[in-house]
Chain A
Amino acid sequence: MSIFISKKTKLIVQGITGRDGSFHAEQMKKYGTKVVGGVTPGKGGSKVAGIPVFDTVEEAVAKTKANTSVIYVPPPFAVDAIFEAVSAGIKTVICITEGVPANDMMKVYPFVKEHGARLIGPNCPGLISVGQSKVGIMPSTIVKKGGVGVVSRSGTLTYEAIWALTEAGMGQSTCIGIGGDQVIGTNFIDCLEAFQADPATKAIVMIGEIGGSDEEDAAKYIKKYVTKPVVAFIAGQTAPPGKRMGHAGAIIAGGSGTAEDKIVALNKVGVPVAGSPTELPAALKELMKGAKRPAPKKATLKKAATKKTKAKKATVKKVAAKKLAPKKQRGLKKAASPKRTKKAKK
């Protein structure tokens, strides 16, 4: 199993004759993805890496029975490409294009929802369901089959985390980049829900960054619905407010969207936040020792949030067992400070 794409994925590539489109169409095909067609208006009838090219998505779908589309077309045409794919009946659309105006995204998003489709991105690296299918631009050399689901707002930072997991012998089920823009089709919660439901996924790594409140919302969701172990990394602790840090969505605006807020929110629900992406595997191993992340009850969590109340009210034995997760978090947070790390290494 996996999330969003699998062996059943039949993919078309919108913008297949472009520089990026043609290169990645071939890469995806090499990985084993069923790339059944490509679309470039005016290039219908030609072939790219043995893949048939069509003039319209409608025609491509009719001839190939494609169910998924990946978009590599330039920003001025990307939203039109999403409309076209969804209108043609495609249910999973992955938009790689960076630089799509947010206002256009606000208009296409309700359309995607109305049609019961899923949009991933824009401005994302796509996803890999390891051993089954790859859609997008992630390097397949870094992944290894296993049980960790990885979800991230970033590209290369995700690769760093995946590589760290692979080196530590912790393979992945699906690795997905949801994109760094302000308005994106699939958010952390959608991915957490899917990973929770996916039997192949045993644990989850979540990589967030400054800007917006997607991580905070994810924390609330984890508290309510996620029983699998989750560890996180949040980038941008040193980012100044009011400055866009590369990604359109990575900006601290009006004092909200700071890394600190996100780390606090995640810690509160028993999600350890690693001090470096390379420490994610160790954090996950530590957390998995306790098997399932305890499904927190409201009362327990309130206690965990404030040390004092917790100490005073520690009475019932059952509660003691549930405190395990918050304790671990604190240990991790301390390890994140430079002094501790040096000591640990010595």
Chain B
Amino acid sequence: MKIHEYQAKEVFAEAGIPVPAGKVAANPIEAFEIAEEINRPVMVKAQVHVGGRGKAGGIKYAENAESAKILAQSIIGMDIKGLTVQKALITEAEDIISESYVGIILDRVTKRPVIMVSPAGGIDIEEVAQKTPEKIFKLAVDPVVGLKSYQARNLAFKLFRDINQVRATTNILMQLYDAFWKVDASLVEINPLICNTDAKVIALDAKVNIDDNGLYRQKNIAAMRDLDAEITEEVQAREADLSYVKLDGNIGCMVNGAGLAMATMDLVKRYGGGPANFLDIGGSSNPEKVVAAMRIILSDPNVRAILINIFGGITRCDDVATGIVAAFKELNPSIPVVVRLTGTNEEAAQKILRSVNLPSADTLDNVVKKAIELAGL
């Protein structure tokens, strides 16, 4: 799960990391009030779950509260890479002397948190990694021992020479590492970490991604979820305990298992169609889930045919068939639906499906081809 910059800064502030004063505004009047309270020049920063906000014109400098209000007017509601800006962070502007990068990611290969620092901050770290990899310094931390001060200090020396700034950065690294664990993060990032004209080291930006598997014990973080910033169908799918990702093709897919769902999408493309979505109904074959899945797929106006591909192992085909029949009664789809049910209780499923008389196929490849054919692609 992604959280916004202003929320990530709340996480940082709680961990003791210095961040500029600021608050989030939902409209120009709030922006004016916050800027007036700060009583110094401010930055107006669009809060959207996408990178490159600055380039898109979503980050602007305002000399005073009046100007902050005008800028907020243009930024709130603007479109950045397909996402509408709902809120803006109004935050104290800093006079920057240097910009660095500091981040911690969960590294799958070492199975450890890896700290990355770079004196080349303020730009996309992937770009730095590609063009000047020698400017990135990494440390895989032993998760049992934890991060030791000397390790953090060694990294801090890669960014600063002044001992006070090194000490400040050491603290920030220690606090960031603690925050990483505390909130079940899969990524925490400060880009840039700046040194201002008062020689203070400050986190000017903040990015925190949370491991979805940790959300059950992160109530405060889970409450930060911004439903407005997410695709409606994906929110509905999560509520129905379905795994769904919207795509831009026109063959709706309903599959059991994430790997098979991806493979089914790939075959749709291979045989000349385009998948409209990724959808995994999961292992337990609750008929209600099938109805919910069908409803979500049908709500996408691009969908011209639906293919249902179930390999019954733990999932029982008869349960899925019951769900399909219920979905037809309730939703009465006007587009073709092709079904392939194989495995556990397959025969029982065929009997149940007789009442709706759907086109079916015997193999993975054939169900995909048939769906494309019926969609008239």
Please give the residue numbers on chain A whose beta carbons come within 8 Å of chain B beta carbons, in ascending order: 75-76, 99-103, 105-107, 109-111, 125, 137-139, 141-142, 152-160, 163, 180-183, 207, 209-210, 212-214, 217, 233, 235-240, 243-250, 254-255, 259, 275-278, 336-338, 341
Contacts and interface: CB of A to CB of B under 8 A. Distances in A.
Residue from A109, A240, A244, A276 whose CB has the most chain B CB atoms within 10 Å: A276
Interface string B17-29: 0000000000000
A345 B144 CA distance: 57
Contacts of A99: 213, 216
Residue among A139, A141, A153 having the largest count of chain B Cβ atoms under 10 Å: A139
B111 A183 contact: yes
Interface string B250-282: 000001111111110111111110010010100
Contact of A278 (B108, B278, B364): B364
Contacts of A180: 258-259
A276 B260 contact: no
Interface in B156-208: 181, 184, 186
Given A75-B216, A105-B111, A236 B364 contact: no
Interface in B76-90: none
22 contacts: A103-B211, A105-B111, A109-B111, A137-B314, A141-B343, A142-B313, A142-B343, A155-B283, A155-B313, A156-B256, A156-B259, A157-B260, A214-B108, A217-B109, A235-B262, A235-B263, A238-B247, A239-B262, A244-B245, A246-B261, A276-B267, A276-B270
Contacts of B280: 246
Given A75-B216, A76-B216, A254-B126, A106 B184 contact: no
Closest 9 CB pairs of A and B: A154-B259, A246-B258, A156-B257, A157-B259, A235-B262, A101-B214, A139-B313, A156-B260, A246-B243
Contact of B211 (A239, A245, A248, A255): A248
B364 to A, nearest CB: 6
Given A106-B111, A159-B313, A249-B108, A101 B263 contact: no
B112 A154 contact: no
Interface in B106-136: 106, 108-109, 111-113, 126
B286 interface: no
Contacts of B63: none
Given A107-B144, A153-B259, A209-B262, A277 B216 contact: no
Given A103-B181, A139-B313, A245-B261, A235 B106 contact: no
A213 to B, nearest CB: 6
Nearest to B366: A278
B61 interface: no
Contact of B278 (A111, A158, A213, A245): A245
B373 interface: no
Contact of A106 (B143, B260, B271): B143
Given A160-B263, A255-B126, A278 B365 contact: yes
B226 interface: no
Given A107-B143, A238-B265, A155 B259 contact: yes
Nearest to B215: A101
A96 to B, nearest CB: 10
B275 A238 contact: yes
B81 to A, nearest CB: 11
A189 to B, nearest CB: 11
Nearest to B185: A103
Interface string B137-154: 000001110000000000
A213 B269 contact: no
A209 B259 CA distance: 7
Max chain A C-beta neighbours (<10 A), residue from B255, B259, B260, B343: B259
A245 B257 CA distance: 10
> Taking chain A's interface residues, is the majority helix, strand, or loop, or is none over half, making it mixed?
loop
B219 interface: no
B228 interface: no
Nearest to A19: B284
Given A217-B109, A239-B262, 13 more contacts: A106-B143, A139-B314, A155-B257, A157-B257, A183-B111, A209-B262, A238-B266, A243-B245, A244-B212, A246-B257, A246-B262, A248-B212, A248-B213
B236 interface: no
A210 B270 CA distance: 17
Contacts of B211: 101-103, 182, 248
Contacts of B260: 154-157, 160, 235
B111 A276 contact: no
B55 interface: no
B350 interface: no
Nearest to B275: A238
Contact of B259 (A235, A237, A338): A235
A160 B212 contact: no
B354 interface: no
A160 B311 contact: yes
Interface centre among A142, A153, A235, A247 (most CB of B within 10 A): A235
Contacts of A217: 109
B261 to A, nearest CB: 6
A240 to B, nearest CB: 7
B232 interface: no
Given A246-B243, A250-B258, A102 B143 contact: no
A236 B262 contact: yes
Q: Which of A137, A153, A237 has the most CB of B within 10 A?
A: A237
A158 B143 CA distance: 32
A102 B258 contact: no
A137 B259 contact: no
A155 B144 CA distance: 31
Contact of A336 (B108, B113, B270): B270
